[in-house]
Amino acid sequence: MTVAPRDDLALMDGYHSPQLDVAVRLNTNESPYGPPEAWVDELAGALGDVAWNRYPDREATALREALAGHHGTTPDRVFVANGSNEVLQSVLLAYGGPGRTAVTFEPTYAMHSQIAKVTGTAVVQAERADDFTLDLDEVDRVLADGPAVVFLCSPDNPTGRVTPPEQVLRVVDASTAAGALVVVDEAYGQFAASTALDLVDDERPLLVTRTFSKTWAMAAGRLGYGIAPAWVVAELEKVVLPYHLDAVSQLAGRLALGHVDAMEARVEQIVAERERIVQALDDLPVHQWPTGANFILFRPDEGRGDDLWQALVDRGVLIRNCASWPRLADCVRVTVGTPEENDRFLSALKESL
Ligand SMILES: *Cc1c(COP(=O)(O)O)cnc(C)c1O
């Protein structure tokens, strides 16, 4: 005996990121390094002081103050949640929902559409230009239909494309006129040369998300946040569950902000490795797209993406197979790993091509 779920859920698949047991895993854009040992020790020590019989600080005051300090803003402009995915969900609960529409520019992060649908928000999937940059005419076209939420992703996953701040501003200005909230997902923001964070202003309907999952090497901890006008943060606070962010996550994030230098050193190292891989790919028979993230999207000039992906798996290297994704025929995506992992990827790739 079963019970029927909502009609619209019956049509949906869950989100999956297939894992295989191979030596080199470069498929999910995680940090190849663990977080700084000093942070792990500090957190272990601080856990002894958690008042386990009490609910955590509902306002997450200390964490929000620390994040505000980190970004040169005020705590009332900081919304914290269980990963940036919960920030996105909160945005859609507050600003989406039945009768409202969210816009994405494809190809982009599948969770934007997925979470929208789960919250009953209609989704309009607009197109990026052929080179995967943002097409401003397309932006104007979809804004004319009066969406409630506009998603940008910069650097974009899976293409790696960065939307320059002047283009983000152009989208925000058009959205202000259309009454839409713009969300810029900057899960990979620290790997890029530009950010939309400086554009956040009480007069602009703009929220920028960041996460501890990628650059901070804390994907296991589930911590993300959004920087937005205080009037947006106040609405998001209304839709989250009481005490949604547990005491340990709050502590983990606050202590991590004492290790910004270590985080920045990792980012620098990964960006240097990314550039090394980009140069190596330049000499191989593949097409790659410019990237500002910790991953590279590319496509073999000849042969099928599926076959290339399998040939790499056979050599102990797992990357992401995007070959069957809409608009990404024969494409694969590799996450930047440690120098040793990247060497193994490059030699397996040369053999496979
Ligand atoms: C990985 C990723 C996230 C991270 O989500 P968390 O919930 O913070 O772990 C968000 N957006 C994009 C585009 C991503 O690729």
Q: Is the CB of 83 under 6 A from ligand 1?
A: yes
**16 pLDDT above the threshold of 70:** no
The per-residue b/e assignment along 71-84, b for 16 or more CB within 10 angstroms, e otherwise, is bebebebbbbbbbb
Same domain, 243 and 341: no
Q: Is the CB of 218 under 6 A from ligand 1?
A: no
Q: What percent of the chain stands above pLDDT 70?
A: 99
Q: How far apart are the first and last CA of the chain?
A: 51
The domain that holds 251 is classified in CATH as 3.40.640.10
In a domain, 2, yes or no: no
Task: Quote the DSSP letter at residue 155.
Answer: S
Same domain, 194 and 328: no
In a domain, 216, yes or no: yes
In a domain, 1, yes or no: no
Residues, the chain: 353
- Spacing, Cα 348 to ligand 1 middle (Å): 28
Which atom of ligand 1 has the smallest separation from the CA of 211?
8
Q: Would you state the pLDDT for residue 164? A: 98
Q: What is the mean pLDDT of the chain?
A: 96
pLDDT tens digits, one per residue of 209-246:
999 999 889 999 999 999 999 999 999 999 999 999 99
Q: Would you state the pLDDT for residue 1? A: 83
Q: Is the CB of 153 under 6 A from ligand 1?
A: yes
**263 pLDDT above the threshold of 90:** yes
Q: Would you state the structure tokens that stand for residue 159, as one six-digit string?
A: 């293409």
Indicate the residue among 220, 243, 259 that finishes a domain: 259
**8 pLDDT above the threshold of 70:** yes
Q: Would you state the pLDDT for residue 61? A: 98
Same domain, 219 and 345: no
Same domain, 118 and 194: yes
- Minimum mean pLDDT range among 12-16, 52-56, 167-171: 12-16
Same domain, 160 and 30: no
Q: Is the CB of 213 under 6 A from ligand 1?
A: yes
Residues 280, 322 contacting (CB under 8 angstroms): no
Same domain, 247 and 310: no
**17 pLDDT above the threshold of 70:** no
Indicate the residue among 237, 259, 281 that finishes a domain: 259
- If one counts the domains in the chain, the total is 2
In a domain, 342, yes or no: yes
Helices (H), the chain: 7-10, 37-47, 61-71, 83-95, 110-118, 136-143, 165-178, 230-239, 247-256, 260-282, 305-314, 339-352
Task: Quote the DSSP letter at residue 284.
Answer: S
Same domain, 55 and 177: yes
pLDDT tens digits, one per residue of 106-147:
999 999 999 999 999 999 999 999 999 999 999 999 999 999
Same domain, 135 and 171: yes
Question: What integer is the mean pLDDT of 267-273?
Answer: 97
- Spacing, Cα 333 to ligand 1 middle (Å): 16
Q: Is the CB of 154 under 6 A from ligand 1?
A: no
Question: What integer is the mean pLDDT of 184-197?
Answer: 98
pLDDT tens digits, one per residue of 286-295:
999 999 999 9
Residues 178, 139 contacting (CB under 8 angstroms): no
Q: Is the CB of 157 under 6 A from ligand 1?
A: yes
Q: Is the CB of 273 under 6 A from ligand 1?
A: no
pLDDT tens digits, one per residue of 307-346:
999 999 999 999 999 999 999 999 999 999 999 999 999 9
Displacement of CA 225 from its chain's centroid (Å): 11
Task: Note down the domain range covering 334.
Answer: 7-35+261-352
